[in-house]
Amino acid sequence: MSKTHEGYLLIADITGYTRYLSESELGHAQETLKALLELLVENTRSPLVISRLAGDAVISYCLREDFFQGQTFIEKIEGTYVAFRKALERLVLNNTCRCNACANISSLDLKFFIHYGTFGIQRISDYDELVGSDINLLHRLLKNSVTNETGFRAYALYTDAAIRQLDVEDIVETMALHKEEYEHLGEVKVLVQDMHPVWEEKRGATAVTFPFDRLLDRSEVHINMPRERVWDYMTRPEFRKTLIGSDRIEIANRTHGRIAPGSVYQCYHGDKWVPQIILEWQPFERIITRESTDMFRDLSAIVEYRLDSTEGGTRLTKLFAMPTGSFLGRTLIRLLAPIFSRFVKQNLDSFRLEIENNYRAHGEALKSEAEFTGKQIREAAAASLQASSGGLQT
């Protein structure tokens, strides 16, 4: 009998695939599905663990004690959707084939189903089979009336249990309240986020760039954990204070409950605080801020915190531009640059040590994450094709 766990459950399900298949050549359709499944597998990273591939869907889970903060998780879902839409665009633009399978790629989309509950894990062959009533509920939610009632074709559906556990009540104010009724389960309350506006916003956003022609200091540190994890730590006030060398940090000016451009990290040094105004917020990639210092409050500088995946971990780079402000202040900053650089590097090293220790202390309770090979993904795509086409050989 499998041990009972408590945690998050996620299904990423490719939308419109059955219709796409009915109008497409099977061989090219399989290659399309394989490419999209590979993308979903690649974007399902720690702390999420893939349970298995189910045709045109990826099923994953994470235990409660090993999870992101709520905003980080929502941004991870949004980031996966944006990556999916970018992949669709590339498949369309780079395709010269005129078959129906290639011509109809743009008809595909993506849905997410997120629940929180209890479940068992049974190891079967090379994947984890999740079992329990909460697993059944999540699968029942795949059949719903969301599109008919809201018009959303691509969406992220969060159960009420997931929202409560994520503690994102302010963030979900912009989501649509929805209810489903199932035999033996009764009424299920959910909140639904339309993903198309997310894509349009990311697609049309103008990025803030760091002024490299005014670079004053560049410091970096290698951290032995995935980039998503480092981002989560870097954005949390209780750990960010070590990164910048302050006593404590508070957050002001959230947008619909989120830290976003325009939000402010208020960095306290004793009873006084200096602002870090967020100019650019690219989850899992970089944050650009305009910062003041406690010593030179009349100066402000553009600072970038950049994350890059490396073999075995993440490189965190802090770029500091020459400040603007009084001539005297800028002159002193130039003279003190070597001391300032050592101070920044010490903070980076302290941050690395702190979060690596915390990461180990709250290490992933399960180490059974499966590695899905290209062959397995191709087999999952073929199985989906065969099921959707009524048993036709692919």
Name every residue whose Cβ is closer than 8 Å to that of residue 387 and which is 6 or more positions away in sequence.
55
DSSP output for 11-73 = EEEEETHHHHHHTS-HHHHHHHHHHHHHHHHHH--TT-EEEEEETTEEEEEEEGGG---HHHH
At residue 392 the predicted structure's pLDDT band, cuts being 50, 70 and 90, is very low
Q: What Cα–Cα distance (Å) separates residue 338 from each residue in 248, 272, 322?
A: 25, 25, 13
Please enumerate, as own/partner, the contacts of 251-256 that have beta carbons within 8 Å and a separation of 24 or more: 254/170, 256/170, 256/171, 256/173, 256/174
Fold category of 4-203+368-388 in CATH:
Alpha-Beta Plaits (3.30.70)
Give CA–CA dist 200/144, Å, rounded.
Answer: 25
Query: Is the model's pLDDT at 347 over the cut of 70?
Result: yes
Which amino acid is residue 78, in one-letter code? E
The whole-number pLDDT of residue 368 equals 45
Nearest to 323 by CA among 313, 314, 312, 334: 334
At residue 286 the predicted structure's pLDDT band, cuts being 50, 70 and 90, is very high
Lowest mean pLDDT among 45-49, 54-58, 90-94, 245-249: 90-94
Give the CATH superfamily of 207-335: START domain (3.30.530.20)
Average pLDDT rounded to a whole number, residues 124-138: 86
Using the 8-state DSSP alphabet, how is residue 297 labeled? T
Nearest to 116 by CA among 176, 73, 76, 84: 73
pTM recorded for the entire structure: 0.87
Kindly tell me the burial class for residue 366, based on how many C-beta atoms sit within 10 Å of its own C-beta (0-12, 13-18, 19 or more).
middle
The whole-number pLDDT of residue 228 equals 93
Torsion of CA 357, 48, 146, 160, to 10 degrees: -40
Domain boundaries, the chain: 4-203+368-388, 207-335
Query: Is the model's pLDDT at 21 over the cut of 90?
Result: no
Lowest mean pLDDT among 64-73, 315-324, 349-358: 64-73
Q: What Cα–Cα distance (Å) separates residue 183 from each residue in 135, 180, 187, 188, 296?
A: 15, 10, 9, 11, 65
Average pLDDT rounded to a whole number, residues 270-296: 91
319, 218 in Cβ contact below 8 A? yes
Name every residue whose Cβ is closer than 8 Å to that of residue 237 and which is 6 or more positions away in sequence.
248, 249, 250, 251, 265
- Would you state the structure tokens that stand for residue 376, as one six-digit string? 């397995």
DSSP output for 162-219 = HHHHHT-TTGGGGSEEEEEEETTTEEEEEEEEESHHHHHHHHHPPPP---GGGEEEEE
Q: What percent of the chain has pLDDT over 90?
A: 57
Q: How do beta strands 313-321 and 155-159 pair? A: unpaired
Average pLDDT rounded to a whole number, residues 336-360: 94
Q: What is the mean pLDDT of the chain?
A: 86
| 4-203+368-388 and 207-335 have identical folds | no
Q: How far is CA 228 from the centre of its chain?
A: 7
Torsion of CA 141, 57, 203, 76, to 10 degrees: 80
Kindly tell me the burial class for residue 135, based on how many C-beta atoms sit within 10 Å of its own C-beta (0-12, 13-18, 19 or more).
buried
Lowest mean pLDDT among 30-34, 38-42, 145-149, 375-379: 375-379
Give CA–CA dist 245/340, Å, rounded.
Answer: 12
Lowest mean pLDDT among 58-67, 160-169, 232-241, 261-270: 58-67
